[in-house]
A and B are shown apart, each in its own frame.
Chain A
Amino acid sequence: MFLSFFYYLRSVGLDVSLQEWLTLCEALNEGLAGANFMRFYQLCRAILLKSEADFDKFDRAFVEYFRDLADLSGEIPESLMNWLNDPKETPDNYSEEYARLNELLTPEEIEQMLKERIAEQDSEHNGGNYWVGTGGMSAFGNAGNASQGIRVGGKSLYRRALRVAGERKYRDFTKDQALDLRQFQMALRHLRQYSARTDEEKTELNAEKTADATAENAGTLDLVYERPRRNTVKVVMMMDSGGSMEYYSRLCSTLFQAVSKSNRFKDLKIYYFHNCIYQYLYTTPYCSYRNSIPLEQVLKTLPRDYKLIMVGDAEMAPYELMSKNYPSANGRRGLDYLLQVRDHFSNSVWLNPSLGTGYWETPQTYLTIQKEFDMYYLTVENLVKAMKKLIAGR
């Protein structure tokens, strides 16, 4: 029965390995869980999970798997909190009298009542003010109106561990992300050009040169130090944060994090644009006038040896790319701006989170931009290719 929990966790997408499972078994052998369900829950979480992002998924799976077990044992939790101390007053069956009565009860009394009530109750109950159910005025149940009381989740009464798991405190961390940040970071490592021509301290001992220098110095020790070799690649990244990019925001933010956290580049500049580049770039994804910066100024401050990474889906209305009369285009086509940026830098690639195959046929702008840029569909594998391309040059 127990092994099936392992497969259940894997089936819900938790990457639990055999090694971790054996560790858990060892822990249970050592008696770390004791006979305590709460400690068993903590034990599972500490050993099987490696990221707070998985806590929510695990909590859900745990509740799902062990709910029936809790049903069978039918035990009352040792301590119950008042979950309903923040009542949402719905007018339909709210009663002043019941509210007052309920407030007179202590948590212990409520717990006692619940025990008796559960013994009495034999059917589902919604509404009303006595039975355990939903939407009612009794001191127990889900989504009720009582100002204090015990929430009874679903049909069963959770034991303590299940209740904690049922709270799903870690919902914020869930990310369900297909592409892993680390994979991206590893791919970005291909973007490197080592050089000792930096302005750092000379800290690395060169044994060979030291031997030569010492020999020339008639055997008196002469140490030769050199500057450590560092990555000298400078990167400028321009990201589309336009409306159609919302769809890929998770993928792009992973890429963004991988790039910005890698801190392996000598310099990294990140700008944003909306659909297409015109007179201004933006320093935040919100693309508002307040954080705008003229394109001319950006190009003036960035020398040619910066590597340009464009990120965007290349999907927009045709006139945004091809019309000279678009309001922010100032008499030039959007495509002209894109080409100006491309030609300013010696090396450039375009990373596209979209394959261009949407609900309709491939957008015209996608094809146009694909002709002008080295465009890569954003996967880990292609990212490696793109980075190699950036280093090798066009």
Chain B
Amino acid sequence: MGKTKETFQGSSGYVASPELLSAVNIAMTLEKPLLLKGEPGTGKTMLAQSVADSLNAKLFIWNIKSTTKAQDGLYVYDVVQRLYDSQFGGKNVDNIEQYVHLGQVGEAFESEERCILLIDEIDKADLEFPNDLLWELDQMEFTIPQTGRVVKANHRPVIIITSNAEKELPDAFLRRCIFHYIDFPDEDLMRRIIAVHYPDLERNLLDQAIAAFYWVRSLPSIQKKPSTSELIDWIRALTYSGIPYKKIMEEIPFAGVLLKKNEDLDQLEKAKGRRRF
């Protein structure tokens, strides 16, 4: 195999577990899309940025909404603009090419160098959406009927797809992906993640904050468990406020940063009354 193999080893701004690193490298070697699932806030979207940084490649992000159609990512033919131009003149409307705008997938295919394509939150779209992309992602090419142009990938982009499991994805689509489920980070990994964000955080504050955070997460009555990104915001709030670290576990200040639901905040107050040290 004469291929040059680049591997992803994580980057300074993103701490990944060994399992995640191996999944990324498997997907890159086999040239298959990597499907990431996991609790919200475990850094699914951040991963693509980090892979792009470490490979020094361009990143294309296609954010999926409930109304997104598969074709939007390939190209958009702006027929209205062409009609207007034909009315008012000024441009040569025979050149259809100028009214065809490539979407994120199209741009990624056309890219001169190998790039990263992130299809973010694919489960937001219609049930049939992933099936509509099968051919394009398999063959890495599509045709624009208006111009007859074939857009073919110069270099197979590294495709990263994230899903929050709001919908089940079709089997045919899943079979083509490498799958990885991002676990919620354990304490060790969490410390490394925080160290990346706050390199010189006071040790005592960190200990207290992490202990309080995992305690809050362990409460069974909490409906929406706080995630990594909330912990990072919370630590920022704690450092700015200058609250003595001894009070963190006792009072859990700024609980609104960790918990977003009123019911959860009430439950936390109750739990604080019940617990023993």
Contacts and interface: CB of A to CB of B under 8 A. Distances in A.
B26 A43 contact: yes
B84 A20 contact: no
B153 to A, nearest CB: 19
A49 B179 CA distance: 7
Interface stretch (B40-48, B98-106, B163-171, B218-226): B163-171
Interface stretch (A23-31, A293-301, A364-372): A23-31
B150 interface: no
Interface in A356-375: none
Interface in A1-46: 15, 17, 19-20, 23, 26-27, 30, 32, 39, 42-43, 45-46
Contacts of B79: 205
A45 B35 CA distance: 13
Interface residues of B, number: 35
B87 A220 contact: yes
A118 B87 CA distance: 88
Given A220-B87, A263-B66, A51 B80 contact: no
Interface string B28-41: 01101001010000
Nearest to A54: B179
B272 to A, nearest CB: 24
A189 B180 CA distance: 30
A141 to B, nearest CB: 25
A180 B174 CA distance: 15
A50 B35 CA distance: 9
B237 interface: no
Contacts of A189: 127
Given A182-B168, A261-B167, A42 B23 contact: yes
A261 B175 contact: no
Contacts of B176: 19
A185 B181 contact: no
Interface string A289-312: 000000000000000000000000
A156 B102 CA distance: 58
A186 interface: yes
Interface string A42-68: 110111011110010000000000000
Contacts of A210: 83
B25 interface: yes
Given A32-B26, A263-B66, A47 B168 contact: no
B129 to A, nearest CB: 13
A45 B177 CA distance: 12
Given A46-B23, A50-B179, A26 B30 contact: yes
A223 interface: yes
A223 B80 contact: yes
B127 A46 contact: no
A42 B86 CA distance: 58
A181 interface: yes
A221 interface: yes
Contacts of B171: 15, 50
B178 interface: yes
Contacts of B170: 182
Given A39-B22, A221-B84, A223-B83, A182 B127 contact: yes
A19 B175 contact: yes
A261 B165 CA distance: 11
Contacts of B1: 30
B29 A27 contact: yes
Interface in A172-208: 180-182, 185-186, 189, 205
A261 B183 CA distance: 24
Residue picked from A15, A19, A52, A205, most chain B C-beta under 10 Å: A52
B251 interface: no
B132 interface: no
Contacts of B168: 180-182, 185
Contacts of A185: 127, 167-168
Contact of A221 (B22, B87, B169, B175): B87
Interface string B91-121: 0000000000000000000000000000000
A32 B25 contact: yes
10 A-B pairs with least C-beta separation: A50-B174, A52-B181, A182-B168, A221-B87, A46-B23, A42-B22, A46-B178, A181-B168, A50-B179, A46-B26
19 contacts: A15-B171, A19-B175, A30-B30, A32-B25, A32-B29, A32-B30, A46-B22, A46-B26, A46-B179, A50-B35, A50-B174, A181-B168, A182-B127, A182-B167, A185-B127, A185-B167, A185-B168, A261-B167, A263-B66
